[in-house]
Amino acid sequence: MASSKIDDPRVIEFDVRTDEMLINMGPQHPSTHGVLRLVLRTDGEVVSDVEPHIGYLHRCAEKIGENLTARQWVPYTDRMDYLAAMNMNLGWSLVIEKMLEYDLPERGRHLRVIISEMGRIASHLVAMGTYGLDLGSFTPFLYGFREREKILNLFEEACGARLTYSYLTPGGATADLPADWTGKCRQFLAEFKEVIPELHTLLTTNSIFVSRTAGIGVMSAKMAIDYGCTGPVLRGSGVYHDLRFHGEERYTEMYDGYVFDVICADPATGKYPESNYEFHGDSLDYPEIPRQAVLGDCWHRFYVRMLEVVQSVRLVEQAIEKYEATSGDWGTPIKLVQKLPVKEAYMETEAPRGQMGFYVVGNGESIPWRVRARSSSFCNLSVTAPLCQGILLADIPAIVGSLDVVMGEIDR
Amino acid sequence: MADFVNHILTLEDSWIGYIVAALVAAVLILHVVAVGALLFIWMERKISGRIQDRLGPTRVGGKFGWLQTLADGIKLIAKEDVTPDLADKFLFKIAPYVGLAASYAAFIALPFADGVVGQHVNTAVFFVLAVLGLEVFSVILAGYSSGSKWSLFGAMREAAQVVSYEVPLGMCVVVPVMICGTMNLTTIANMQAGFFTNWLVFNDPFTFLTAIVYFTCATAGVNRAPFDLAEAESELVAGFHTEYSGLRWSLFFMAEYSSMFIVAALASILFFGGSHGPIPIADVLGLLSLDNLGSSDPAFHVFNEDGGGFFASLNLEIAIARFLGVANLLLKGTIGVTVMMWVRWSFPRLRIDQVMTMCLKYCVPLAAVGFLGATAWQALDLPTGNSLMNSPRYSHHELWTADDSESTVEEASSNEVQTPHEDDTHAAAKAVELKTVPVSVVKGGER
């Protein structure tokens, strides 16, 4: 009974008892990535408890989906994960195609790979930049946005929009890529590959960055699986799972004939796959893993994203070649009032932030009876509370930022 | 200056002269603070822009957007001055002025060149550090009185951080003081006259180390990134100035930028030759005699009391020397500030425990090593950077100590520059003749 007083491992300082303070971090706060609200229980700088509150960006997107036709709802998917709108479009398009048992022509398939992987690059660039911002470094943010801007320019050329594209639609895409788009895309990739080492210098290998992220917010593989984490958050914990490899056939066949690695450390050795990717004769070497880093910490989650960008570059390069080699139809978008069969369909795709699933139930009408989205950020956010116990206040942006949540996708 | 005013007004040692002199000095220094902040904020925006591959301000004021800060200032003046309901109103309102006053007052003892100083203080090093240390009050007051938890966090951090960093900062500052044997900044600067090898940073390896530690601690002491925890915007919204708006907010900024300049200028005086350039151009070209710079009472270089009138007494040679000296010091201070900006826009922010670790585990021991090493270097009389070129530091140093002991005078005889006689009066007379008596120690002490 002697030591029964302090059993709570979260109580760090017990020699001088001070009052705890409840603090609202958000919904208006610079580093909560939108309108996330965290209620912190702090004792000085030490945060003993974090409780995330969500719902500040809820727009009833799913309910709206039950009042619109399948094609009409595409713009609403844009506004879910607004940083990777192309990938959201893709997820919705694929689930409707699955329902209609529609098969995309070859050219459309490669077009989708180009677009969705470019979307992944853009999204990871924002994730990288804002993570730097969370840790107090402004410059990587602008470096990331500068490159993202070039991707947005390319997207704008393809579909006319810069943020909410509605480009990939059920049945294909609203238009084929313009003439000479692939040339510009190639040029971008060539420029971008020069920039990646700069980004690594600014953050990945920066010693302050490493000391802020390595060993912070360590999540075991079991915990990541238990909480339903997906995407880079899951792979950062050393779980080899990427829907582009392990997903449904309808999705993985999109990547048939493509060569790329799943970026994930081998839990046994802690090593990432070798960079066997050559660029103008120089291999794009991955930076060394610092010795302070523990598998599943913030640094690894960040690192996985940085390496995935390289894999996406690799995919886009292959896709451009394949796209140029094919000709003909890129797919016909379904009619605005396309009737959906009486059945249900669910499909998950590998969006930049994890597995984005859409669920549709049709009742023979053109307006679906039920629409539901499974959000990756939502599950990824759920680890915030267990990860943020007994840490310092400054670690909260580091941990939440490494999860890379987008509130538009969580609240829908 | 005061005597000069009294001389013009034909008053004998009147208080009016001192008031007028104080006002003139205050207004001049205010310009350094205000215009300096204006320039540095513009510079920060421009530099951060270039580092981040963008342009920064381009339009206001024609080219380069050099009036951007002024436009922002006007905007800030026009903004509403909000005081939160929960705030301790009096403290909340007074806090920014405390900060500005502290960093402004520190300029009083900062010599921009030999003789160009608000008020000669024989313990200027101590004065500047002590007054600058008061700036922490403004942050603590602001944080405490804002009635906001984020502000309180900022204040707590500031208190912990700045107080800790004053320890290694003080230890670093002691090194030049120990080498030069004086706390007078003007004398310290003058002892580094000549080629850049005379700069204390190149004196020995330990002073080099000390200079680096000093700069690190100074960056932390004025709350610049990566040590800007008190206003860490990604964690604490805006830290201690979360609740401030308008002019009060901009006063915090002015205080921050002027204390940045102060610590950078202090670094350049203590380690980088102060108002003396890397190469004594004027001296090499024979335009000026270097010895003239430290020749007579600093206050009467330009305004000579017995010359009768302003223009009659204007010593052009010394005026030019001072102008160059001020330009040198401003340039060096600006370079120091630029380095701080460069660091800020390149690095992420440290965590509070890492900041404290950095101070207690690295800066304090390194400063101690630097201090002990530099002391040993002096005690063992090992070769210094000073001995690379024919330099005046020993002459300054030893003539000054000649007042106290004869042994140092004898040692000085090994130095080629000059050989004072053992007779003290003769030595002093010779020194006057050679015009190498250091500033203000002889006469300045009386003032």
pLDDT digits (tens, 9 = 90+) for A125-157: 999 888 988 888 888 888 888 899 999 999 998
Q: Per the omega criterion (within 30 degrees of 0), is the bond before A27 cis? A: yes
The neighbouring-strand residues paired with A344 are A361
pLDDT of residue B426: 45
Secondary structure (3-state) at A39: strand
Q: Buried b vs exposed e over A193-210: b needs ≥16 C-beta within 10 Å?
A: beebeebbebbbebebbb
B196: which DSSP letter?
A: G
pLDDT for residue A20 is more than 60:
yes
Pairing status of strand A344-351 against strand A21-25: unpaired
Low-confidence ranges of chain B (pLDDT < 70): 1-3, 11, 280-317, 386-447
Q: Which amino acid is at B327?
A: A
Mean pLDDT of A83-104: 89
Q: Picking from A35-44, A366-375, B227-236, which range would have the lowest pLDDT averaged per residue?
A: B227-236
Model confidence pLDDT, tens digit, residues B53-68: 888 888 887 788 888 8
Pairing status of strand A37-43 against strand A21-25: antiparallel
Chain B residue numbers touching A392 (CB-CB < 8 A): 351-353
User: Nearest CB to A139: which of B51, B233, B236?
Assistant: B51
- Contact pairs from chain A to chain B, CB under 8 Å: 84
pLDDT of residue B379: 82
* Number of domains within chain A: 1
Residue A281 pLDDT grade (very low, low, confident, very high; cuts 50, 70, 90): low
Residues 6+ apart with CB under 8 A from A79: A59, A61, A85, A164, A408
Question: Rounded CA gap, A203 and A125, in Å?
Answer: 12
pLDDT of residue B384: 72
Query: What is the distance of C-alpha B194 from the center of its chain?
Result: 20
Residues 6+ apart with CB under 8 A from A401: A31, A33, A130, A131, A134, A135, A298
User: For residues A121 and A248, which has the higher predicted lDDT (pLDDT)?
Assistant: A121
Q: Which two tokens stand for residue A370?
A: 């039920």
For residue B401, which phi and psi values (nearest 5 degrees)?
-75, -10
Say if residue A155 is exposed, middle or buried (CB neighbours under 10 Å; 0-12, 13-18, 19+).
buried
Mean pLDDT of A308-320: 88
* Under 8 Å between Cβ of A409 and A379: no
Yes or no, beta carbons of A135 and B349 under 8 Å apart? yes
Q: Buried b vs exposed e over A284-307: b needs ≥16 C-beta within 10 Å?
A: bebeebbeebbbbbbbbbbbbbbb
Model confidence pLDDT, tens digit, residues A330-368: 878 888 888 888 989 999 998 898 888 899 998 888 889
Chain B residue numbers touching A44 (CB-CB < 8 A): 156
pLDDT of residue A9: 58
Percent of chain B with pLDDT over 70: 74
Question: Rounded CA gap, A7 and A193, in Å?
Answer: 52
Which of B44, B223, B234 is the best residue to mutate to test the A interface, defined by the most A CB atoms within 10 Å of its own CB?
A: B234
Chain A interface includes B352 (CB < 8 A):
yes
Q: What is the mean pLDDT of chain A?
A: 85
Q: How far is CA A366 from CA A77, A170, B77, in A?
A: 18, 13, 59
The neighbouring-strand residues paired with A50 are A40
pLDDT for residue A3 is more than 80:
no
Please name which of B158, B375, B354 lies closest in space to residue B256, comparing C-alpha atoms.
B158
Q: Quick check: is A173 in a domain? A: yes
Yes or no, beta carbons of A143 and B346 under 8 Å apart? no
Yes or no, beta carbons of A23 and B51 under 8 Å apart? no
Q: Quick check: is A382 in a domain? A: no
CATH code assigned at A269: 1.10.645.10
Q: Which amino acid is at A393?
A: L
pLDDT for residue A80 is more than 80:
yes
Residues of chain A whose C-beta is under 8 A from some C-beta in B? 21, 23, 29-31, 44-45, 132-139, 142-143, 146, 202-203, 206, 208-209, 211-212, 392-397
B233: distance to nearest CA of chain A, Å? Answer: 7
pLDDT for residue A298 is more than 80:
yes
Q: Dihedral of the CA atoms B121, B124, B129, B134 (nearest 10)?
A: 10
pLDDT for residue A254 is more than 80:
yes
Which of A18, A19, A50, A208 is the best residue to mutate to test the B interface, defined by the most B CB atoms within 10 Å of its own CB?
A: A208
pLDDT of residue B135: 85
Say if residue A236 is exposed, middle or buried (CB neighbours under 10 Å; 0-12, 13-18, 19+).
buried
Domain range enclosing A127: 72-337+392-400
Please name which of A66, A180, A85 lies closest in space to residue A126, comparing C-alpha atoms.
A85
Question: Rounded CA gap, A112 and A101, in Å?
Answer: 18
Say if residue B404 is exposed, middle or buried (CB neighbours under 10 Å; 0-12, 13-18, 19+).
exposed
A253: which DSSP letter?
A: G
User: For residues A178 and A7, which has the higher predicted lDDT (pLDDT)?
Assistant: A178
Task: State which residue of chain B sits closest to A38, comparing Cα positions.
Answer: B235
Q: Which two tokens stand for residue A201?
A: 């210098």
User: For residues B445 and A175, which has the higher predicted lDDT (pLDDT)?
Assistant: A175
Q: Quick check: is A64 in a domain? A: no
- The complex's ipTM works out to 0.77
Q: Quick check: is A328 in a domain? A: yes
DSSP calls for B71-123 = HHHHHHHHS-----TTS-HHHHHHHHHHHHHHHHHGGGG--SBTTB-SS--TT
Cite the DSSP H helix spans in A67-138: 74-78, 85-100, 106-134
